[in-house]
Chains A and B, each alone.
Chain A
Amino acid sequence: MLRAYVVAFLIFLYAPIALLPVFAFNSGTVIAFPLDGFTLDWFAALRTNSELHSALLNSLTVAGTTSVLSVLLGLMAARANIRYTFPGKAAAMGLVMIPLVLPEIIVATSLLVVVVQFFGWSLSLVTVVAAHVLICTPFAIAILNASFQSLDPALEEAAIDLGETRSSTFRLVTLPLIMPGIIAALLICFTISLDEFIIAFFLTGSDTTLPVYIWSLLRFPNQLPVIMALGTILVIVSILILTLAEWNRRRGIARMGGKDSGGFL
């Protein structure tokens, strides 16, 4: 019974995604069964679409910048959270983590108001990055919290005791030991930013990101198979990145000789 339930559950979750590659290789322009025949035309169309290429480049730039900034902020927040006690710590950490659960449409709307009405900035990729950092930082903190948690504070003290300064201790001891966590956080933030639509849709200016570009394609029914092809590639890349992140995290734990206390996968 339970087994049947799990199977049904997995089909429900993944069947729609499994349809992506099916229609990506289907030669008919209508997304419906029966299938017409096998083709690689839709993938070929991706190669020549310059709008798509600039959207992809935008997305990669945004995701790259976002992940680096989020992880830098996450590093500081996680270290402060694990190593120090100070008044208002719980409240501060709670506020930092709230974007994890806030509805994105609310975040997007209020950010739009703030950016346009209060600051009078024009919308651009910079505003998208700023907003993505807001929603990605909690993920980075969650991952790096675990890294700092499993790092014996005596290791940093030992390095200082052996003559190193605080900064050289961070470089020689702390950084190598939490590197798996940093890489995992970078990859996950990158994926979140790359896939994010609502905030990007609200805050992007004339430069669109990839999800926003895909959405704009939906107005043209004959472009649907191209979206299917693009979607297939995105799903594969996302799965690869997350697998890499998790593999890297487990390797890090094994190297530290610690116990696995769960991750995102």
Chain B
Amino acid sequence: MNLIELRGIQKYYGDYHALRGIDLDIAEGEFFSLLGPSGCGKTTLLRVVAGFEDVSSGSVMISNKDMTGVSPNKRPTNMVFQSYAIFPHLSVAQNVAFGLRKRSDLNAQARMTLVEDALDMVGLDGYGARAANALSGGQRQRVALARALVLRPKVLLLDEPLSALDKKMREQMQVELIRLQRQVGITFILVTHDQEEALVMSDRIAVMFDGEVAQIAEAEDLYRKPVSRRVAEFIGTMNFLPATVAGEKVEVAGLGHMELSDTQSMATTDGDTMAGFRPETATLLFPGQKTEGRIASGTVSEVVYYGDMTYYDVTLDGCERPVRISMRNVFGRPVLDIGAPARLAWSPGAVTLFARA
């Protein structure tokens, strides 16, 4: 069952067209991400769901109820703000209890129990009496989560919640957010510009560019079958090579001929287009190594050593720009030097043909 249904959402700020016809269904209990570069409209869309922005046209339905004209304090949504918006004049417990003020069915004891449970859930048990502005960034984040989750909203909206944290803390919070979401079973909608964060955390991801949804897919499908070159470039790294389609045959620069049906094709017409493959779908063969698959030849033009991985830039014969190949470093295998001849094992199944823009 769809908890949230967005239909034909349009949003104008004066002449600026911020959202251009968004249709989106989000299921109950889903961890959904809105992913895109800054200015793509993802935060605006989140604020539309929260009720902080009204729409120019279109409808927002939550639990089959039309939310048009319903103010944020009457919606079954709660938000974790990018700045966390922890009330600095209140203690941690008072912050968490803030939304419970309107719950007249609770007595002081029940309220305190709920607050303590919420703090416990985010790993801040015993922090209730602390002043809110004496907390670290990660702790503020947890207070913001507890403050929203204590109300048991139908939807929790997270606006770039991890962007202010350092890398280590961010990775830790990613895992905790996933655990928390499974534990409470509440629908999470996460806004992020970090594709890795979206891939790690979400059940499904909507990639947005220029106020439009470019693709909605599960993480793996999004990575493996991007619908456009722009999505492919935004999610991870992809190598692009010029290609020509003629009937059932494709000619890709540097790789050679292949059957159109063997590739992941979105090109429907004959002519020039772009082919792409991910750095890890091809393998560099080392001297003497054999393969049954297809081989392209070229020259190593750059080597970047990352410890567990080595990234090679390989210029394929007949191509100007190098392609990037990532290789897991295995004990006993040599790292190729710049200028060394390279043999690239690849398969047509990993090649995506994009429709011409």
Contact = CB atoms under 8 A, between A and B. Distances in A.
Interface of A: 152, 154-155, 157-165, 172-173, 176-177, 255-257
Contact of A256 (B77, B83, B88, B147): B88
Nearest to B159: A154
Contacts of A257: 88, 133
A154 B147 contact: no
B87 interface: yes
Interface on chain A toward B: helix, strand, loop, or mixed SS?
A: helix
A192 to B, nearest CB: 29
B133 A256 contact: yes
A141 B147 CA distance: 33
Nearest to A252: B89
Classify chain B: how many residues form its interface, as a range. 20 to 34
Contacts, number: 60
A161 B78 contact: yes
B88 A162 contact: no
A164 B148 CA distance: 13
B52 interface: yes
Contacts of B52: 157, 161
Given A163-B73, A165-B73, A158 B79 contact: yes
Contact of A155 (B50, B85, B147): B85
Contact of B82 (A154, A159, A163): A154
A152 B73 contact: no
A264 B269 CA distance: 72
Interface in B272-307: none
25 contacts: A154-B85, A155-B87, A157-B79, A157-B81, A158-B79, A158-B87, A159-B87, A159-B98, A160-B71, A160-B72, A160-B73, A161-B50, A161-B52, A161-B78, A162-B99, A162-B148, A163-B99, A164-B101, A176-B89, A177-B88, A255-B88, A255-B133, A256-B89, A256-B133, A257-B88
A177 B88 CA distance: 8
A193 B176 CA distance: 57
B85 A163 contact: no
B88 A163 contact: no
